[in-house]
């Protein structure tokens, strides 16, 4: 039976339209004659989403009882029995109620796919297992319902349902996502603009990686080895030398000239773990790469040129930036790294950059220090022996030297070969030298027979000395390799500690571990109880197909009581395991610090939100106290037993209407203030005629607007603002001024034309109270019922609206007593 195909609609957050898009796809397929059923769809009370399901067959759900409550889940058996061509299954990461056949809905979907049923489903980016910790850092919310990344990767199609944060927040404000009682909390917490922008970027990057994986898979399946320039990637190769910063800046300039180009840097470490450059220099160069927006990598390889090209091909690099050779005599020392990379690069462009260190002699160091004697070193030693031994023999033939001098001459190739190729090649060289000396220079000549006992002693001593030199060289090499391993371990821990101090995320630290040990993927796993036993939870991961369980890893080490660091790619030796344990401990400590910081940030945020909520409740209580008291007096008067005259009833009705109007104004101010603080205002800035705004604001005040004196100059220039929000702000300030002003001193509105802005001043003559910029208490004086003028709800609303439009609002003392609120906004250019 052919396995069904999975299609996923991916979204950055709830409310972007994933379910709607899934139902629209179902309608499209039904119109083409495909058998489509709804296995499970949750419209969440959204009318447009529910309407899109009209006409589609809906299979009944299965009722499940759990903890004295009844829930409904998808009836998997009913869908399998119906066996449609396509099943629409919402919320792929959903956790089923205990008692269902499978614990997760994605496992239900797997059964449908195995049965040959195509499935169309939905998923939010925050539910992916590998991104769980990143989402928690961004939003402060730990997602309990997660989906293994491998399930999403196996989908034949993943389509992004994208929406800008501003559009999504407008949908939220209009009630198209959550019910009214959840809107304000959502806007001020999870649906903040920064959160939505970060989640959107995560979704786009994750999908871009899947596209890149698909492209690489297509090239591998079709045997395409040539490079496809789908994106410019500039790779700079670093040796750790003084020219590194010059190369990095040059590569960064090349990348800046190309829209969307990536900057990569790579340093090749020998297989023994020693770097050719200094750790401080590489650390500084790495910091420079990351500050320029690039990514730094370390790879392992004895052949530097091939390692650079293999990395460039793996990363699909299009250009390589290299430094000019520092070799002084390239004709004698052989082809340099730059020349080899240029010769073998194929279609990859190579930039050779000159620098001050070019052609300078390198610092003197032992050629074999820290490097094991591999096959190439043996061959190099043998080649030197083949060249040097005949040379010494020829010199001896024409120089007529004594045997002792000739044996000292043969000792020189032995020492050179020992330093180059190791003990075994040096021993063979010593034996060959002894045979040549015997054949050519001991009587009888051209024979292996030795006539003199002194010559026998000389040759034996020569072989012993040569063996001792070879053994000493081998011992020194072994000790140097041990020191190299210790240096590599210290370097690994130093690199990880430096990255940790830089404050990257856990995936970035794991990427450092992956690069240091040459692994394909690394995961940080946490063992958590699930009610029945324990299950492994992926805290963070990097690489392709990271392990989700220690049993599925090639190597794993404990990082804490419940935390394990697991890697896939190759099994590590004992020394590497020891270093990996130290790295795991550091990563676990970093995890603890991040979790503590998150809890602290959550607590601070909760405290700030509680303080703001308490302040708003107090201000609202103070604002509503007077109109509610007046309304109560009005109701008491209307309910009195004594008959009232028509004038008295009219007066009471007017008082009640004024009280209700003030209550309605307070509620409107609360709504606007909440939207402004949540960043959910729909703002359209454009030139606005101020006269129209003032007239509209006075009309909104009703009869009280006639008591305000307006003093504006003629030919007012336009102001840059949102007409509706500016009208609301002026109305709030005028309401506050009317409330504070005595009857014999009406409030005044004036306008001052400044060089780059307009200032609207709302002046009252109420009692003197400290302004917002003065020290002093902000609470109302004992015995008063209203809030301070600068902290009242109307003024707070006006300030929030003004700042949302890019303006400022300040308060001043009114000469003779009272408060002046100045609202300042930029003026429009004078129209010709």
- Residue partners of 326: CB distance under 8 A and separation at least 6: 241, 243, 357, 358, 359, 360, 361, 362
Give the side-chain half-sphere CA count within 13 A for 684. 3
Q: Quick check: 509 pLDDT over 60? A: yes
- Asked if pLDDT for residue 77 goes beyond 80, the answer is yes
pLDDT above 70: residue 327:
no
Per-residue model confidence as pLDDT tens digits over 753-770:
998 899 999 999 876 444
Can you give the pLDDT at residue 496? 61
pTM: 0.44
Residue percentage of the chain with pLDDT more than 90: 19
Tell me the Cα Rg of the chain. Answer: 40
pLDDT, average across residues 539-561: 85
Which of 269, 346, 270 lies closest to 313 in space, CA to CA?
A: 346
CB 393 within 8 A of CB 436: yes
CA distance 481 to 507: 32
Report pLDDT digits (tens) over 1-57.
789 999 999 999 999 999 999 999 999 999 999 999 999 998 888 888 889 999 999
Q: Is 73 helix (H, G, I), strand (E, B) or coil?
A: strand
Torsion of the alpha carbons at 634, 636, 637 and 640, rounded to the nearest 10: 160
Higher per-residue pLDDT: 175 or 465:
465
| Cβ atoms within 10 Å, residue 86 | 20
Place of tokens 């690039």: 294
pLDDT for res 381: 82
Order the strands of the 563-568 sheet from edge to edge: 534-543, 521-529, 563-568, 555-558
Give whichever of 213-222, 376-385, 668-677, 718-727 has the largest mean pLDDT: 718-727
3-state secondary structure of 181: helix
pLDDT band at 783 (very low <50, low <70, confident <90, very high): very low
The mean pLDDT of the chain is: 80
> CA angle 521-527-528, nearest 5°?
135
pLDDT digits 0-9 by tens, 421-435: 778 888 888 899 889
- The upper half-sphere exposure of residue 312, i.e. CA atoms within 13 Å in the direction of its Cβ, equals 30
Q: pLDDT per residue over 466-497, tens digit each?
A: 888 888 877 787 777 667 666 666 666 666 66
Hey, which of 318-322, 354-358, 453-457, 573-577 has the most confident mean pLDDT?
318-322
| Type and span of the H or E element at 810 | strand 808-813
Checking DSSP bridges between strand 757-763 and strand 808-813, what pairing results, if any?
A: unpaired
pLDDT of residue 548: 87
pLDDT band at 781; cut points 50, 70, 90: very low
**Is the model's pLDDT at 340 over the cut of 80?**
yes
> How far is Cα 146 from Cα 172, in angstroms, rounded to an integer?
24
Question: What pLDDT, on a 0 to 100 scale, did the predictor assign at position 26?
Answer: 95
Taking residue 391's Cβ as centre, other Cβ atoms within 10 Å add up to 13
CB 508 within 8 A of CB 499: yes
Paired strand residues for 319:
234, 349
Cα 50 from Cα 379, distance rounded (Å): 76
Structure tokens at 639: 């309910």
Better pLDDT: 773 or 227 = 227
Report whether pLDDT(331) > 60.
Answer: no
User: Which tens digit of pLDDT belongs to each residue from 145-193?
Assistant: 889 888 998 899 999 999 998 889 888 888 888 887 788 778 888 888 8
pLDDT: which is higher, 503 or 38: 38
Calpha distance 480→473 (Å, rounded) = 10
789, pLDDT greater than 60: no
> For 610-660, what is each residue's pLDDT tens digit?
776 676 666 666 667 777 887 888 887 777 757 777 787 777 787 787 778
Is 731 in a helix, a strand, or coil?
helix
């Amino acid at each position: 039976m052919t396995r069904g195909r999975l299609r996923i609609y991916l979204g950055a957050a709830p409310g972007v339209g994933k379910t709607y898009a899934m139902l629209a796809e179902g309608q499209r397929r039904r119109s083409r004659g495909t058998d489509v059923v709804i296995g499970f769809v949750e419209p969440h009370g959204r009318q447009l989403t529910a309407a899109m399901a009209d006409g589609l067959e809906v299979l009944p759900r299965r009722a499940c009882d759990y903890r004295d409550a009844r829930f409904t889940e998808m009836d998997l058996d009913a869908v399998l029995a119906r066996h449609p061509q396509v099943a629409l299954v919402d919320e792929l990461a959903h956790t089923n109620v205990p008692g269902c056949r499978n614990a997760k809905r994605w496992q239900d979907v797997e059964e449908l796919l195995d049965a040959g049923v195509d499935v169309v489903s939905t998923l939010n980016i925050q539910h992916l297992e590998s991104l769980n910790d990143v989402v928690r850092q961004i939003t402060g919310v730990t997602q309990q319902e997660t989906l293994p990344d491998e399930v999403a990767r196996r989908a034949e199609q993943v389509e992004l349902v994208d929406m800008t944060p501003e559009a999504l927040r407008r949908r939220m404000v209009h009630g198209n996502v959550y019910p009214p009682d959840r809107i304000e909390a959502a806007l001020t917490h999870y649906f903040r603009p920064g959160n939505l922008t970060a989640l959107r970027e995560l979704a786009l990057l994750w999908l871009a990686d899947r596209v890149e994986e698909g492209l690489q898979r297509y090239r591998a399946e079709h045997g395409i080895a040539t490079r496809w320039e789908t994106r410019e990637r500039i790779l700079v190769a670093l040796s750790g030398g003084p020219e590194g910063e010059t190369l990095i800046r040059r590569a960064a300039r090349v990348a800046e000239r190309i829209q969307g180009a990536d900057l990569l840097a790579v340093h090749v470490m020998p297989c023994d773990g020693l770097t050719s450059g200094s750790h401080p220099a590489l650390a500084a160069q790495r910091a420079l790469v990351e500050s320029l927006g690039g990514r730094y990598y370390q790879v392992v390889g004895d052949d530097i040129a091939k390692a650079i090209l293999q990395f460039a091909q793996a990363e699909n690099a299009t250009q390589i930036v290299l430094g000019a050779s520092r070799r002084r005599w390239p004709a004698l020392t052989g082809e340099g790294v730059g020349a080899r990379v240029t010769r073998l690069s194929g279609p990859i462009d190579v930039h050779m950059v000159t620098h001050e260190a070019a052609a300078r002699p390198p610092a003197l160091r032992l050629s074999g220090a820290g490097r094991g004697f591999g096959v190439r070193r043996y061959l190099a030693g043998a080649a030197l022996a083949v060249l040097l031994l005949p040379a010494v023999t020829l010199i001896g033939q024409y120089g007529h030297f004594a045997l002792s001098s000739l044996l000292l001459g043969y000792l020189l190739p032995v020492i050179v070969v020992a330093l180059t190729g190791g003990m075994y090649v040096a021993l063979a060289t010593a034996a060959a030298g002894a045979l040549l000396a015997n054949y050519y220079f001991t009587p009888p000549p051209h024979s292996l027979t030795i006539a003199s006992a002194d010559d026998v002693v000389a040759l034996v001593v020569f072989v012993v000395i040569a063996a001792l030199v070879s053994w000493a060289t081998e011992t020194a090499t072994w000790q140097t390799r041990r020191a190299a391993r210790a240096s590599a371990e210290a370097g690994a821990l130093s690199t990880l500690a430096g990255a940790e101090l830089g404050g990257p995320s856990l995936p970035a630290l794991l990427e450092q571990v992956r690069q240091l040990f040459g692994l394909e993927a690394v995961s940080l796993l946490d063992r958590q109880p699930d009610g029945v036993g324990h299950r492994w939870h992926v805290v963070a991961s990097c690489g392709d197909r990271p392990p989700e369980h220690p049993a599925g890893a090639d190597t794993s080490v404990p990082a804490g009581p419940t935390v394990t660091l697991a890697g896939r790619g190759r099994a590590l030796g004992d020394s590497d395991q020891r270093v990996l344990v130290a790295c795991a401990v550091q990563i676990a400590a970093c995890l603890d610090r991040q979790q503590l910081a998150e809890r602290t940030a959550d607590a601070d945020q909760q405290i700030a939100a509680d303080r703001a909520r308490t302040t708003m409740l107090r201000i609202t209580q103070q604002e509503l106290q007077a109109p509610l008291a007046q309304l109560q007096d009005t109701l008491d008067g209307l309910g009195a037993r004594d008959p009232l005259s028509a004038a008295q009833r009219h007066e009471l009705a007017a008082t009640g209407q004024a009280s209700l109007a003030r209550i309605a104004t307070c509620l409107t101010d609360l709504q606007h203030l909440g939207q402004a603080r949540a960043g959910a205002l729909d703002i359209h800035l454009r030139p606005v005629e101020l006269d129209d705004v003032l007239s509209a604001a006075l009309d909104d005040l009703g009869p009280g607007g006639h008591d305000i004196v307006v003093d504006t100059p003629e030919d007012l220039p336009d102001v840059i603002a949102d007409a509706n929000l500016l009208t609301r702000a002026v109305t709030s300030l005028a309401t506050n001024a009317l409330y504070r002003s005595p009857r014999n001193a009406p409030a005044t509105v004036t306008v001052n034309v400044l060089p780059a802005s307009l200032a609207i001043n709302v002046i009252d003559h109420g009692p003197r109270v400290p302004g917002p910029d003065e020290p002093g208490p902000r609470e109302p004086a004992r015995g008063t019922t209203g809030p301070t003028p600068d902290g009242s709800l109307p003024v707070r609303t006006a300030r929030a609206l003004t700042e949302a439009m890019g303006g400022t609002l300040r308060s001043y003392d009114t000469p003779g007593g009272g408060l002046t609120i100045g609202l300042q906004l930029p003026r429009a250019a004078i129209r010709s």
